[in-house]
Amino acid sequence: MTPDTVPPGLPVPPPLRNDCFSLPAGVDWTPVDEALALLRERLHPVCAFERAPATAALGRVLAEDVIARRAHPPRSNSAVDGYGFAGPVPEGAHVLPLVEGRAAAGGDFAGAVPAGHAVRILTGAAVPEGVDSVVLEEDVSLQGGQIAFRGPLKAGANVRPAGEDVAAGAVALSAGRQITPSDLALLAAIGVGEVTLRKRLRVGVISTGDELVEAGTDAGVGKIPDANRPMLLAVLERLGHDPVDLGLLGDDRALLREALDEGAARVDAIITSGGASAGDEDHVSALLNEAGAMQQWRVAIKPGRPLALGLWQGVPVFGLPGNPVAAMVCTLVFARPALALLAGMGWVEPQGFDLPAGFGKRKKPGRREFQRARVRDGRVEPFASEGSGRISGLSWAEGLMELGDGERHVRPGDPVRFIPWGGFGL
């Protein structure tokens, strides 16, 4: 990791501990929740702080709470076009003389409105002194210099009090939040033009495998296009990180070592796919092992059993399985919350909901299953195949269906958990 240049006064996060990916001794298949709890406990933010204009903050992570510099709304104002006066008014007919002039948004009404009088007021205009209620213009008849309308009308009717949305000095957005388009409106409204952000987490992506060629090039016989790298780079972009393409490597340990060395100098975390299990050509796990800070995580999950996690020169490496569906599932289930922590967003949970199953299935106990799925007519439909090489199913799907660790006999109509892609931050 390159040392960040941090403006004076802003904190520099400490490095990760060498044992951050170690697993409890004697555990064979680690349940998903335990694996996640370990990551949550051991990882912490690694991205330094920087100041930036609020308008450039979309998708970025707040490093500090944002305090409202002004109230929203700053002054009590009218919610409608109508006539303002001092309320309340009781039931029955009312006739009020109008004062000269009007209150319009951006143009203050000079002076006070005397008791028993009304003033013409437009939506968004600050209510003049002596006014606390507004009657809608559609409910009024105008006769000469007077208005007539029927009560009752409560005091405060159609008036938006100062600070009813956000009080000046209140925490409007909390540290760790990833700025949304709506937040840009809020920041503008509360007078915040500059924010303290975390630098974007730089995440390198490497594909490994002798069978792979660059996407878009002629693969020829015996080769296949590298499908994981474009997918993973795009996922990282969507999650708000800074994706760094570290390339495609054959099953060559020396080259991979070089790429990890080079990558570790440029990025804050590395995601590899392929070579994660313990076979002859599984160089990612072999190398991380050699580095001494690696763990072969055997997580009780389908798909995505082999997962190699380690530190390479202090940089966390997520060695994902090569099968594209497993690579996607492991990225969303494990890498996403881990990267969010590193990026200063805090731990993130996938947001799903239970819907009736549109299918039947018997699931064996002992592992959590994620299947490509979509929702039609309010029911969850799984993809026709569970094969984790079936990339087309990822495109077909609109999210993942999650089946818990235990045994489960799902019958049509039973509730099942569906997590749309958006629930994973995509």
Ligand X SMILES: Nc1nc2c(c(=O)[nH]1)N[C@H]1C(S)=C(S)[C@@H](COP(=O)(O)OP(=O)(O)OC[C@H]3O[C@@H](n4cnc5c(N)ncnc54)[C@H](O)[C@@H]3O)O[C@H]1N2
Q: Applying CB under 6 A, which of residues 321, 393, 399, 425 lies at the interface with ligand MOO? A: 321
d(CA 344, CA 342): 5
Least separation in angstroms between residue 302's CB and ligand MOO is: 5
Q: In what order do the strands lie in the sheet with 133-136?
A: 133-136, 82-85, 118-121, 89-103, 146-153, 141-143
Establish if 204 lies at the interface with ligand X (CB under 6 A). no
Establish if 388 lies at the interface with ligand MOO (CB under 6 A). yes
Report the greatest alpha carbon distance in the chain.
95
Establish if 320 lies at the interface with ligand MOO (CB under 6 A). no
Least separation in angstroms between residue 233's CB and ligand MOO is: 20
Would you say 186 or 329 has its CB closer to ligand X? Answer: 329
Exposure string for 321-347, b = 16+ CB within 10 A, e = fewer: bbbbbbbbbbbbbbbbbbbbbbbbbbe
Least separation in angstroms between residue 304's CB and ligand MOO is: 4
In the shown chain, the binding pattern of residues 295 to 324 toward ligand X, with x for contact by CB under 6 A and - for none, equals: --------x-xx--------------xxxx
170: nearest Cα among 69, 295, 88, 31: 69
Q: Which one of ligand X, ligand MOO, none interacts with residue 191, CB within 5 to 8 A by kind?
A: none
Least separation in angstroms between residue 370's CB and ligand MOO is: 10
Phi, psi for 319 (deg, rounded to 5)? -90, 100
Tokens, residue 406: 């235990």
Q: Which one of ligand MOO, ligand X, none interacts with residue 331, CB within 5 to 8 A by kind?
A: none
Number of residues that bind ligand X (CB under 6 A): 26
Q: Which one of ligand MOO, ligand X, none interacts with residue 228, CB within 5 to 8 A by kind?
A: ligand X
Cα-based distances in Å from 336 to 3, 36, 147, 364: 24, 11, 61, 27
Q: Which residues contact 123 (CB under 8 A, 6 or more apart)?
A: 78, 79, 80, 81, 105
Least separation in angstroms between residue 261's CB and ligand X is: 21
Integer-rounded Cα Rg, in Å, for the chain is 30
Q: Applying CB under 6 A, which of residues 80, 276, 288, 343 lies at the interface with ligand X? A: 276
| One-letter amino acid for residue 339 of the chain | L
Q: Which one of ligand MOO, ligand X, none interacts with residue 227, CB within 5 to 8 A by kind?
A: ligand X
Would you say 21 or 334 has its CB closer to ligand MOO? Answer: 334
